[in-house]
Amino acid sequence: MNKRVLIEDKLIYFTDVYSSDVSREYFQSLKETIEWGRDEIMMFGKRTKVPRLTSWYADPNVKYSYSGLELIPRPWTPELIELKSLAEKLSNHSFNSVLLNYYRGGADSMGWHSDDEKELGTNPIIASITFGYPRRFLLRERTDFNNKKEIELEDGSVLVMRGDFQETYQHSIPKTAKKVGERLNLTFRTIR
């Protein structure tokens, strides 16, 4: 496992956390066993389908809301508890929920945003695990949209966002016309 601190102590990237064989097993199992859905959110005053499949698993009664959508938790699976345990170890933080995203190809994406919802509290810690095809993770300063950085999130990697990262930066997974494979992303969070 390699560790790189990308922005002070706010963004830490661990590569090769899982071997390609283990990553492939997790990818296939999660793709088949998670209850995936395609929710509608409010964007610019109108309802639109989320451009990827999602699912929310959490401790009982842990609800999460964003963009006019309220997520009701599904109970943890043994596999998700295993992954949560590693995310907690790498981030030195305890999580009570995970938002899973399934990117089926290059048309599936995540727009510019910060994970700064009230339920996450001040300076939230979020650990993001990637399985499957690598995708570009873009970030930009909230005070200077021209100041952008890019990371390729690799199969079997973990990205930890912490400190005032969400206050200072926005991030996205952009659409791409390139032929890309499927990717699963698990973002572990603590809802207060």
**How many domains, the chain?**
1
Strand order in the sheet with 11-15: 2-7, 11-15, 157-161, 126-132, 183-189, 97-103, 53-58
Encode pLDDT of 114-139 as tens digits: 999 999 999 999 999 999 999 999 99
> d(Cα 2, Cα 71) in Å, to the nearest integer?
34
- What is the distance, to the nearest Å, from the Cα of residue 113 to the centroid of all Cα atoms in its chain? 12
pLDDT at residue 42 greater than cutoff 70: no
27: domain CATH number is: 2.60.120.590
Average pLDDT over residues 6-19: 95
pLDDT at residue 43 greater than cutoff 70: no
Other CB atoms closer than 10 Å to residue 156's CB: what's the count?
22
Write out the residue range of the structural domain in which residue 118 sits. 2-189
Global pTM reads 0.93
Q: Which helix (H) or strand (E) holds 5?
A: strand 2-7
Write down the H helix ranges in the chain.
20-33, 78-91, 165-168
